[in-house]
Chain A
Amino acid sequence: MTLLDFTILAAKVVLVMSVLLSTVPILVWVERRGSAFIQDRLGPNLVGPFGLLQPLADVVKFLFKEDPIPIAAHRFLFPLAPLCSLVPAAVTFAAIPFGDTIDLWGKTITLQIADINVGLLYIVAFGSLGIYGILLAGWSSNNKYSILGALRSSAQMISYEVALGASLIGPLMVYGTFSLREMVHLQASHWGILLQPVAFITFFISAFAECNRLPFDLPEGEAELVAGFHTEYGSMKFALFFMAEYLHMITISALTVTLFFGGWQLIPGLVPLAQWIGVATYPTSIGLSLLQVFSFTLKIGFFLWLFIWIRWTFPRFRYDQLMSFGWKILIPVALGNIFLTTLAIYLKWI
Chain B
Amino acid sequence: MIPINHLAVFMMLGFALILGLGLLGLSALLGRVKPDPRKLSTYECGVPPSGSPRNRYSIKFYLIAIFFLIFDIEIAFLFPWALIVKSQIPLGPMVIGEMFLFIALLLVGYFYIWKKGALDWNS
Contacts and interface: CB of A to CB of B under 8 A. Distances in A.
A67 B9 contact: no
A231 B45 CA distance: 10
* Majority-rule SS of B interface residues: helix
Chain A CB within 10 A, most for which of B13, B100, B114:
B13
Contacts of A128: 72
A67 B27 contact: yes
Contact of A86 (B16, B61, B68, B107): B16
A114 interface: yes
Interface in A222-236: 226, 231-232, 235-236
A62 B32 CA distance: 11
Interface string B34-66: 110101111111000101011101001100110
A248 interface: no
Given A114-B12, A155-B61, A166 B75 contact: yes
Nearest to B122: A320
B116 interface: no
B43 A143 contact: yes
Contact of A63 (B9, B13, B31): B31
Interface in B81-104: 82-87, 89, 93, 96, 100, 103
B65 A158 contact: yes
A319 B55 CA distance: 21
A72 interface: yes
B7 A9 contact: yes
A297 interface: no
A177 B83 CA distance: 6
Interface in A206-243: 226, 231-232, 235-237, 239-240
B43 to A, nearest CB: 6
B92 to A, nearest CB: 11
Contacts of A142: 42, 53-54
A324 interface: yes
Contact of A122 (B9, B11, B37): B9
B19 A169 contact: no
B121 A323 contact: yes
Interface in B1-16: 1, 4-9, 11-13, 15-16
A82 B16 CA distance: 12
Contacts of B33: 66
B24 A240 contact: yes
Contacts of B42: 70-72, 141-143, 232
A24 to B, nearest CB: 12
Interface string A1-39: 100010001101110010001000000000000000000
Interface in A29-87: 62-72, 79, 82-83, 86-87
A178 interface: yes
B19 A90 contact: yes
A329 B100 CA distance: 20
B64 to A, nearest CB: 5
A66 B41 CA distance: 15
A302 interface: no
Contacts of B121: 319-320, 323-324
A227 B54 CA distance: 19
Interface stretch (A144-152, A258-266, A273-281, A287-295): A144-152
B20 interface: yes
A72 B41 CA distance: 7
Given A240-B20, A335-B107, 11 more contacts: A21-B19, A87-B13, A87-B17, A94-B8, A116-B9, A142-B53, A144-B51, A147-B57, A158-B65, A172-B83, A345-B86
24 contacts: A1-B7, A5-B4, A17-B15, A17-B16, A70-B40, A91-B16, A113-B12, A128-B72, A142-B54, A143-B43, A144-B53, A145-B43, A159-B64, A161-B72, A169-B78, A172-B82, A172-B83, A176-B83, A236-B24, A239-B23, A240-B20, A327-B67, A335-B107, A346-B96
Interface of A: 1, 5, 9-10, 12-14, 17, 21, 62-72, 79, 82-83, 86-87, 90-91, 94, 113-116, 121-122, 128, 141-148, 151, 155, 158-159, 161-162, 165-166, 169, 172-174, 176-178, 226, 231-232, 235-237, 239-240, 319-320, 323-324, 327-328, 331, 335, 338, 342, 345-346
